[in-house]
Amino acid sequence: MKSRLDIKHMTEYLSLIDNNSKIPLDLYQKYNVKRGLRNSDGTGVLVGLTEIGDVHGYIMEEGDKIPVPGRLRYRGYNVEDLVKGFQICGRHGYEETAFLLLFGNIPKPQDLEDFNIDLGARRQLPDTFAEDMILKAPSSNIMNKLARSILALYSFDEKAEDNSIPNVLRQSMELISQFPTIVAYAFQAMEHYFNGKSLYIHTPISNLSTAENFLLMIRPDKKFTPLEAEVLDLALVLHAEHGGGNNSAFSTHVVSSSGTDTYSAIAAAVGSLKGPLHGGAAIRVRGMMEDLMEQVNDWSDESEVIAYLEATLRKEKYDKKGLIYGMGHAVYTLSDPRAVLLKNRAELLSKEAGRSKEFDLYCMVERLSQDIFDKYKKNGKKICANVDFYSGFVYSMLDIPTELYTPIFAVSRIAGWCAHRIEEIVSGGRIIRPAYKNVTSSKQYIKLSER
Ligand X SMILES: O=C([O-])CC(=O)C(=O)O
Ligand Y SMILES: CC(=O)SCCNC(=O)CCNC(=O)[C@H](O)C(C)(C)COP(=O)(O)OP(=O)(O)OC[C@H]1O[C@@H](n2cnc3c(N)ncnc32)[C@H](O)[C@@H]1OP(=O)(O)O
277 binds ligand Y (CB under 6 A): yes
CA distances in angstroms from 177 to 127, 142, 206, 248, 313, listed in the order given: 16, 17, 10, 19, 41
* Residue 330 binds ligand X, judged by CB under 6 A: yes
User: Which residues, other chains included, contact 437 with Cβ-Cβ below 8 Å and sequence gap of 6+?
Assistant: 31, 33
Tell me 67's DSSP state.
Answer: E
Query: Does residue 202 carry a catalytic annotation?
Result: no
Residue 124 C-beta: closest distance to ligand Y, Å: 30
Count of C-beta atoms within a 10 Å radius of residue 418: 26
Instruction: Give Cβ neighbours of residue 80 (< 8 Å, ≥ 6 apart).
Output: 337, 341
Regarding 269 and contact with ligand X (CB under 6 A), the answer is no
What are the phi and psi torsion angles at 77 (to 5°)?
Answer: -95, 130
* Residue 188 or 386 having the CB closest to ligand X: 386
Q: Which does 57 bind (CB under 5 to 8 A by kind): ligand X, ligand Y, none?
A: none
Which residue type occupies 231? V
The piece of 325-333, 354-362, 424-432, 437-445 that touches ligand X (CB under 6 A) is 325-333
Find the helix or strand (DSSP H, E) in which 165 lies. helix 165-195
Alpha helices for 21-103 (secondary structure H): 25-30, 79-88, 94-103
Q: Which is nearer to ligand X, 130 or 270 (CB)?
A: 270
Nearer to ligand X, 181 or 406 (CB): 406
Q: Which residue of the chain is nearest ligand X when measured via CB?
A: 246
Spatial CB neighbours of 110, under 8 Å, sequence gap ≥ 6: none
Instruction: Reply yes or no on whether 26 is catalytic.
Output: no
Which of the listed partners (ligand Y, ligand X, none) does 377 bind, with a CB threshold of 5 to 8 Å by partner kind?
Answer: ligand Y
* Strand locations in 345-423 (E): none
Q: Which of 239, 329, 336, 420 is catalytic?
A: 329
- The answer to whether the CB of 279 falls within 8 A of the CB of 406 is yes
Distance CA 146, CA 225 (A): 27
User: Site residues for ligand Y, window 373-412 (CB under 6 A)?
Assistant: 377, 379, 381, 383, 386-388
The CA–CA distances, whole Å, from 27 to 179, 318, 358, 438 equal 43, 33, 46, 11
Task: Choose which of 74, 86, 129, 325 interacts with ligand Y (CB under 6 A).
Answer: 325
Determine the residue type at 33. V
CA distance 68 to 53: 18
Size of the site for ligand Y (CB under 6 A): 23
Q: In this chain, which stretch among 33-41, 306-314, 328-336, 430-438 interacts with ligand X, using CB under 6 A?
A: 328-336
Q: Which stretch binds ligand X (CB under 6 A): 25-33, 162-170, 329-337, 400-408?
A: 329-337
Strand pairing report for 53-61 and 77-78: unpaired
Q: Interface with ligand X includes 387 (CB under 6 A)?
A: yes
Q: Which one of 233, 261, 336, 388 is the catalytic residue?
A: 388
Applying CB under 6 A, the span of 99-107, 181-189, 226-234, 271-279 interacting with ligand Y comes to 271-279
Angle at 214 between CA 211 and CA 217, to 5 degrees: 150
CB-nearer residue toward ligand X: 150 or 387: 387
Query: Looking at 131-139, 168-176, 304-312, 323-331, which segment touches ligand X (CB under 6 A)?
Result: 323-331
CA distance 370 to 311: 15
Total residues contacting ligand X by CB under 6 A comes to: 8
What is the pattern of x (binds ligand X, CB under 6 A) and - over residues 243-262?
A: ---x----------------
Stretch of residues binding ligand X (CB under 6 A), selected from 120-128, 171-179, 324-332, 436-444: 324-332
Among 79, 281, 342, 394, binds ligand Y (CB under 6 A): 281
Residue 330 contacts ligand Y per CB under 6 A:
yes
- Helix or strand (DSSP H, E) at 406: helix 405-423
Q: Does 242 bind ligand X (CB under 6 A)?
A: yes
CB of 387 to ligand Y, least distance (A): 5
Q: Give me the least distance between CB of 242 and ligand Y, in Å please.
A: 7
DSSP H helices, 246-296, are 247-256, 262-274, 281-295
User: Which segments of 300-355 does DSSP mark as H helices, in order?
Assistant: 302-313, 337-353
Q: Which does 328 bind (CB under 5 to 8 A by kind): ligand X, ligand Y, none?
A: ligand Y
- Give the residue with the Cβ less far from ligand Y, 366 or 388: 388
Shortest Cβ 179–ligand Y spacing (Å): 17
Q: How far is the CB of 80 from ligand Y (least distance, A)?
A: 18
DSSP calls for 177-195 = HHHHHHHHHHHHHHHHHHH
The half-sphere exposure of 349 on its side-chain side, counting CA atoms within 13 A, is 22
Q: Is 386 in the site for ligand X (CB under 6 A)?
A: yes
Residues with catalytic roles: 329, 388
Residue numbers at the binding site for ligand X (CB under 6 A): 55, 242, 246, 329-331, 386-387
